[in-house]
Amino acid sequence: MDFTFTEDQLAFREAISRFLMTEAPPETLREIWETEDGRSPEMRRKMAEQGLTALSVPEAQGGLGMDDVAWSLLTQELGYYAIADSMADTAYVATGLLTALPESTDLRDELLARIVDGDVRIAVGHPVNPLVADVHLADVVLQAHQDEIHALKREHVSFERNPSIDSSRRLSRVSFQPSDATRLVGAEQGSAIWDQTLNRGALAVAGQSLGLAQRMLDLSVDYAVQRKQFGKAIGSFQAVKHKLADVAGKIEFAKPVLYRAAHALANNEPTAALNVSHAKLACCEAAWVAARHGIQVHGAMGYTWEVDLQMFMKRAWALDSSWGDRAFHTSRVAEAVLAADAPIGPHHSFGATHA
């Protein structure tokens, strides 16, 4: 029993964090998000060069084979630096989906190799998301049709853009003509893969939300130390302190829930769906509380476009209902916990790993 990370896992997180700190400062993100596409090929290329896209591709396909547990750290960094959806979707969610396909599936190894090289963006059209992120720039769209999985070039889908309050989000309604040529696998095989993809997507959002929460807390603490009223830093006032302490508490207690879920997913534990939904709810809640208290602590500045808080706050609001909204995940938890034979109580923190 060891509920901690390896030195390697922590070092990877650290490296990604240092890289994004220089490459993705808020000023740069603002410029990128103001463009029509909202995406920067150059930033994208740098991230691929850093090996970010190759991290979860299996070693057999030339990647590093990092599992969900490592990604529960890495997605927090993607969240902290508000990296656009296509990165998590390509490097983690789609990679997982492709890896789960039978080895003989057309395109599987080709796409995995291109992900390692960093020259492909993949959008994932899961039925749980009414709109698909980043289709407008995707090279390939992995799209559900009932439970079948189809792979489409962007030219073969039609999409209508739906602007979001979060400038980093680029959402589209997708329609396409399914055919034998586009089908990767049929419904029978596809169904389990879509289930697992949903869990990966939700876990990626959970990790990013936690990263966003931490970023908003850090921004708010900095602001509270600098901003003076009544001749003192506002951070010395207890009403302000207690709000920020509550954010810290929410973050602190969402983390291990995220890690527990990542472990369950990586090991195909029977409780994985329950653990993932729990993580999604806990992390998104932390992000919402961080946003609510963050805007309050920033006063009128918090209501402006000018202050960076808004970039992270809006993303937190938006991600809350992506990859399954609260109602969806709460129901999944309720169903599992209230089931007649649910494994609940003090013996069941870690599934049926002991007698």
CB of 235 to other proteins, least distance (A): 4
Binding segment toward other proteins, per CB under 8 A, in 2-10, 13-21, 117-125, 207-215: 2-10
CB of 31 to other proteins, least distance (A): 31
Q: Which residues, 189 to 218, sit near other proteins by CB under 8 A? A: 217
Closest CA to 88 of 144, 21, 151, 133: 133
Contact predicate 247/290, CB 8 Å: yes
Q: Which residues, 229 to 288, sit near other proteins by CB under 8 A? A: 232-233, 235-238, 240-242, 244-246, 248-249, 252-257, 259-260, 263, 267, 278, 281-282
Parallel, antiparallel, or unpaired: how do β-strands 140-145 and 122-125 relate?
A: parallel
| Residue 353 backbone dihedrals phi, psi, to 5 degrees | -95, 0
CB of 45 to other proteins, least distance (A): 32
Considering the complex, state which of residue 260 and residue 298 has its C-beta at the smaller distance from other proteins: 260
Report the interhelical angle of 68-80 vs 187-226 (nearest 10°).
Answer: 40
CB of 205 to other proteins, least distance (A): 17
Structure tokens at 287: 């992000």
Closest CA to 280 of 207, 331, 198: 207
**Looking at 10, 21, 192, 344, which residue binds other proteins (CB under 8 A)?**
344
Considering the complex, state which of residue 53 and residue 72 has its C-beta at the smaller distance from other proteins: 72
Contact predicate 234/351, CB 8 Å: no
Considering the complex, state which of residue 170 and residue 263 has its C-beta at the smaller distance from other proteins: 263
Does 228 bind other proteins (CB under 8 A)? Our answer is no
Residues in contact with other proteins, counted by CB under 8 A, come to a total of 54
CB of 207 to other proteins, least distance (A): 15
Contact predicate 126/201, CB 8 Å: yes
CB of 282 to other proteins, least distance (A): 6
Closest CA to 257 of 74, 3, 17: 3
Q: How far apart are CA 28 and CA 82, in angstroms?
A: 11
Does 1 bind other proteins (CB under 8 A)? Our answer is yes
HSE of 217, CA atoms in CB hemisphere, 13 A: 25
Does 2 bind other proteins (CB under 8 A)? Our answer is yes
Q: How far apart are CA 302 and CA 66, in angstroms?
A: 38
Provide the binding-site residues for other proteins, judged by CB under 8 A: 1-6, 69, 217, 221, 224-225, 232-233, 235-238, 240-242, 244-246, 248-249, 252-257, 259-260, 263, 267, 278, 281-282, 330, 333-334, 337-338, 342, 344-350, 353-355
